[in-house]
Amino acid sequence: MSSNLANNLIDTARDLGDRPAIRLHGITLDYSQLRRAAGAVAGDLQARGIRPGDRIGIVMPNVPGFPILFYGVLMAGAIAVPMNPLLKSREITYYIQDSGMSLVYGSHAVGDAVAKAANDVGIPALLVGDQGPAALELLGDPLEEPVARSADDTAVLLYTSGTTGNPKGAELTHANMVTNAATTVDTLIQTSPDDVILGCLPLFHVFGLTCGLNAAVKSGALLTLIPRFDAEVALRVLERDKVTVLEGVPTMYSALLNSPDAVSADLSKLRCCIVGGAPMPVEVLKAFESQFGCEVYEGYGLSETAPIACFNQPGKPRKPGTIGTPVRGCQLRLVDEAGNQLSDLTAPGEIQIKGENVMKGYWGRPEATEESIVDGWFSTGDIARLDIDGYYSIVDRKKDVIIRGGYNVYPREVEEVLYEHPAVSEAAVIGIKDVYLGEQIGAAVALKRGARAESDELVEFVRERLADYKYPRKIWFVSSLPKGPTGKILRRNVEPPADR
């Protein structure tokens, strides 16, 4: 039996064909229309000579064309390579060359960059509208059924940003994607055809792809899209479409909470909120729940794990500030720097993950794969603690640890305290080179709209709550912090002012 991820779309279209699938700006595709459009793309790809296992790029924002192309690529048996539409041509060229791409789709909005990159490498670039390719542009006969693929065949190549070097392509198999979507639907957000999921997470990112698009298709729910996150727009869509499931990264929740429209917004249909991509400040979580009356469930995952690995799960006690317990089909453990499992359960260690969600490996990088996956255990580079009830709490990234005078300082701990201050909207703690201590603690802070605070005031606020070696000696204010495509704060891109 074929394990093609696209079978989820075929099954849902057969059983719930007239149910709404994708919505944007009042335009709605039902599941039958989505299946037919994807089948037409698959037939077109075959007519162009695309064969199973070929890599196909998709450079699209959150518009109906993305799911049409994504499932069309899968139906043809090819490998989808989603890319951020904000990439420049030089960056797209790297993705094309590294993956050995055969063809790339791009939206008209990024057509110049996509066309230039494809031309430089010598592959076709097909530019399509927000609603996907027009019928007159397509070649060949539409496919009615997906090309058979095995569970271990690669379905998606997702490039991870990493902290150093060029991005690496994580090979996620059909089994990885099928099982993680099912786990999301069955055990986490528990979606049904009556649900409406807000598609504000980018679909080219694993969180939005699995928990948004693939989970919606698996369960027959409606995914209502926002091409690029904006808090005011998101609140209008949440209200207009009676959204029941909200998925986002912490900065999205903070932006919704601090929006001037938050007080008047009617989010009474919201029944489930999940957050991932970065640690959620506890103060932001509590404030969001108080404002909107919906519990927020925190979780954890990576591109390499399809992504969900650990979560606060319905039916179990919820512990704000933790990432919960391992999800179905997944194991976690903490190891020391030598890779040995920790015997001291109170000590922090690096998270390793094993299970049905762990990637096949990094595309074209056997050495990197062997280094990151040993005996089936994937080393994440994330540091966590395990409590007596089996709940994990992220301490920080292994490479983000600041060593001040021989003491380890985890930026996340300091940031949590900064978020407790009523004027602070966003914070990022970094290490600053220091001739005597090796590193000193610094923090970039963005204040809430209309709020005021002095740097000395914030320094003292943290000093009162943490050990002397942990509080930041330097705090500077910024209008906003650098963020990745999902809205995750990029601590590595934060730099202190020249006079620091």
How far apart CA 47 and CA 41 sit, in angstroms, is 10
Q: Residue 272 forms beta bridges with which residues?
A: 245
Domain boundaries in the chain? 1-398, 402-493
- The one-digit pLDDT tens for each residue of the chain (500 residues) are 789 999 999 999 999 999 999 999 989 999 999 999 999 999 999 999 999 999 999 999 999 999 999 999 999 999 999 998 988 888 899 999 999 999 999 999 999 999 999 999 999 999 999 999 988 789 999 999 999 999 999 999 999 865 445 789 999 999 999 999 999 999 999 999 999 999 999 999 999 999 999 999 999 999 999 999 999 999 999 999 999 999 998 889 999 999 999 999 999 999 999 999 877 888 899 999 999 999 999 999 999 999 999 999 998 999 999 999 999 999 999 999 889 999 887 789 999 999 999 999 999 999 999 999 999 999 999 999 999 999 999 987 777 878 787 677 878 889 989 999 999 999 999 999 887 677 899 999 999 999 999 999 999 999 988 878 889 999 999 999 999 888 889 888 899 988 65
- What pLDDT does residue 413 have? 83
pLDDT at 164: 47
Q: Give the pTM.
A: 0.86
pLDDT at 256: 95
Beta strands in 36-124 (DSSP E): 55-59, 79-83, 103-107
Closest CA to 425 of 402, 444, 446: 446
Can you read off the two tokens belonging to residue 11? 């099954």
Asked whether 19 and 193 are in contact (CB, 8 A), the reply is yes
End-to-end Cα distance, the chain: 62
Q: What Å distances lie between residue 73 and 68, 143, 290, 298, 498, CA to CA?
A: 9, 11, 43, 32, 48
**Which amino acid is present at 288?**
F
CB 25 within 8 A of CB 47: no
Residue type, 2: S
Q: Out of 3.40.50.720, 3.40.50.300, 3.40.50.2000, 3.40.50.12780, which CATH number does the structure's domain 1-398 have?
A: 3.40.50.12780
CA–CA dist 258, 268 (Å, integer): 18
DSSP 269-283: T--EEEE-SSPPPHH
Query: What whole-number distance in Å separates Cα of residue 21 and Cα of residue 11?
Result: 13
CATH code, residues 402-493: 3.30.300.30
